[in-house]
A and B are shown apart, each in its own frame.
Chain A
Amino acid sequence: MWDYSEKVKDHFFRPRNVGEIENPDAVGEVGSLACGDALKLMLKLDKSGRIADVKFKTFGCGSAIASASALTEMVRGKTLEEAAKITDNDIADYLDGLPEQKMHCSVMGREALEAAIASYRGIKIEKPVEEGTIVCKCFGVTDNKIAHEVREHKLTTIEQVTNYCKAGGGCRSCHPQIQAIIDEVWQKEKEKAMIESARKPVKKLTNIRKMQLIQETIERDIRPALQSDGGDIELIDIDGDRVMVSFRGSCVECPSSKVTLKSTVEAKLQEFVADTIIVEEVVS
């Protein structure tokens, strides 16, 4: 039994705006019988370009019907530009959340809206993200669509991808390809972030954020390396950009610890915190 919020139940049992509009200004249709859910969204605009009437028809489970009903309430009275800003998360939030495995229902809502707006603007490509090569044959999901969901929702696992766009939910034979797409997206994002951070002027960190970053960097990138050699390091104090540390274990006796201090500890802190960091060794 799914744990649906009261709002989801309300919109499922009493769906708003079910039906069709005669001579609609915009129609968006997504999904299929084979996929197990489908949504047809119809919009009518008033003279000022606002959505005056909206109707839907859905083939799908409880949360698919609730997501569609919620979407119609959300777009009414909005201009197409305003409506276009609605994301799948907005739909889920409006319903006080959806179970993780049901997020694809809100994605379907957003896609139907996109398709409707595109149809109004006379754009033939209804679902630009759908183009690409089919990866998941069971549900007909393309590589571009998967990459889009991964970026949009910061997905890191195959299971999450399945929750958001169904890909990989059938025979599972595409799981290695989905993993490769996830890896590729994050590899690219990482590279992009690195280039951007190199370009961007140094952001001034607050003192608290700087201290947090210093501690995190020591825990994540410095201590494990030293510990693997039987040594360790302890953060003693922080004063502006001066970071005072003390070596522990085999590092205390190690003649190269002075080099480690500059080449590893300081270098890492400069990389992840700020390039103005200076590391000093103190005895305590």
Chain B
Amino acid sequence: MKVVYADNNATTMVAPEVIEAMLPYFTEHYGNPSSMHSFGGQVAKKIEVARQQVADILGADPSEIVFTSCGTESDNAAIWGILRANPHKRHMVTSRVEHPAVYNLCKYLAQSGYHVTELGVDSNGMLNLNELADAVREDTAIVSIMYANNETGVIFPIEEIGAIVKQKGSILHTDAVQAVGKIPLDLSKSTIDLLTLSGHKLHAPKGVGALFVRKGITFSPFIIGGHQEKNRRGGTENVPSIIGLGKACELAKKFMSEETTRVKQLRDKLEDEILKKAPDPRVNGHRTQRLPNTTNMSFEFVEGEAILLLLNEKGICASSGSACTSGSLEPSHVLRAMGVPFTAVHGSVRLSLSRYNTMEDVDYIIEHLPPIIRRLREISPYGRETKVKEQTARASARI
């Protein structure tokens, strides 16, 4: 069956060049990079090449890159690493729209005796920077705010955030899992102290990530063990995946202009056409401060899981913020934080592209998505009248 993969914020295809680069490290080059013999030592040298490649896409120094097992580990390592290194500071700041790796960790910390300030967002998914300035205190150990949102693609003004955090004398961590490889970053001129990235979001395999820790930042290791990664992360290196991540970063740098031009054109066409053809659509999130590959759309009076099942029948892979697709009953915390009405949250669909998508893919989705929405609308007991009724009810409630 034809497969149109439009769920690249969930995970991406491993680039063929990446697989090719990795293969020898499963076979002939199986040495342990920590070994004294040159059989292992040659592998260690390749890890340093990969470290340079990762540093290059970030504009960082290789010594500032720590390899980890995934984005979630990098987030945990960053936040725990700073909290442990600053035990007298018991406060942190984050946002209400973070990925669960940060969001749920902060919830846990709040239950474990830390003070956590959660910043809300407006209907476009944007932060109020005055609120941030008020939230950062003398005892704020760390501010953890994502670079770009995984559900909506909304990009936060991270340098402005960093300037405020610096001015207040705190440390800024950003989960940039969705940003790295999609938009250009330059940490050499940046206020970011720690940054998380994940391999499988940029065409490297699952099970590898990295954490950027700026020189001079005191940081306690999250995984305690051997002396690997200069005592910043114990555990034998996942060599093939690290080599793969390095290659993927090199490729991402090479294709960066394509992401921000061709992929963006595909996304824009997809969004514009669907807005024209489907009944009662809306876009969730800021229209311009947004990743070039992502669109999050809602269709009122229909439910997201049903949309995904029907898309799946056509071979189209997408995601939804609907409660029924989340494994819990709670709809997307991101869309709820933005104040998106329940009617639209349940019927939300995220389409996220990559450089492997084509115009043909986009046309295929444009052809099939609107009829699916219309089909579900025919089954739905709600319609425009409901909306009018609800609005009247709301209006009269206000009076």
A residues with a Cβ closer than 8 A to B are 2, 12-13, 15, 18, 29, 33-34, 36-40, 57-62, 64-65, 101-102, 138-139, 162, 166, 169-171
Contact = CB atoms under 8 A, between A and B. Distances in A.
A7 to B, nearest CB: 15
Interface stretch (B12-20, B64-72, B135-143, B374-382): B374-382
Contact of B305 (A62, A162, A169): A62
B329 A37 contact: no
A61 B342 contact: no
B387 to A, nearest CB: 10
A59 B386 CA distance: 12
Interface secondary structure of B, over-half rule = helix
Contacts, number: 78
B313 A33 contact: no
B330 interface: yes
Interface stretch (B173-181, B320-328, B358-366): B320-328
Contact of A12 (B306, B325, B342, B380): B306
Interface string B301-312: 111111001100
Given A33-B342, A33-B346, A57 B329 contact: no
Nearest to A170: B330
User: Nearest 9 A-B pairs (CB), nearest first?
Assistant: A169-B329, A61-B324, A61-B305, A57-B381, A40-B381, A34-B342, A59-B380, A33-B343, A36-B346
Contacts of A29: 381
6 contacts: A12-B309, A36-B324, A59-B302, A64-B306, A101-B327, A171-B330
B199 interface: no
Contacts of A58: 379-381
A36 B342 contact: yes
Interface in B247-304: 301-304
Nearest to B386: A33
Contacts of A64: 303, 306, 324
B17 to A, nearest CB: 30
A166 B342 CA distance: 16
A36 B306 contact: no
A36 B380 contact: no
B330 A59 contact: no
B303 A61 contact: yes
A170 B306 contact: no
Interface string B341-357: 01100100000000000
Contacts of B330: 138, 169-171
B331 interface: yes
Contacts of A38: 381-382
A61 B301 contact: no
B331 A36 contact: yes
Given A57-B380, A58-B380, A65 B322 contact: no
A60 B313 CA distance: 18
Contacts of B313: 13
B302 A61 contact: no
Nearest to A166: B329
Contacts of A15: 379
A33 B309 contact: no
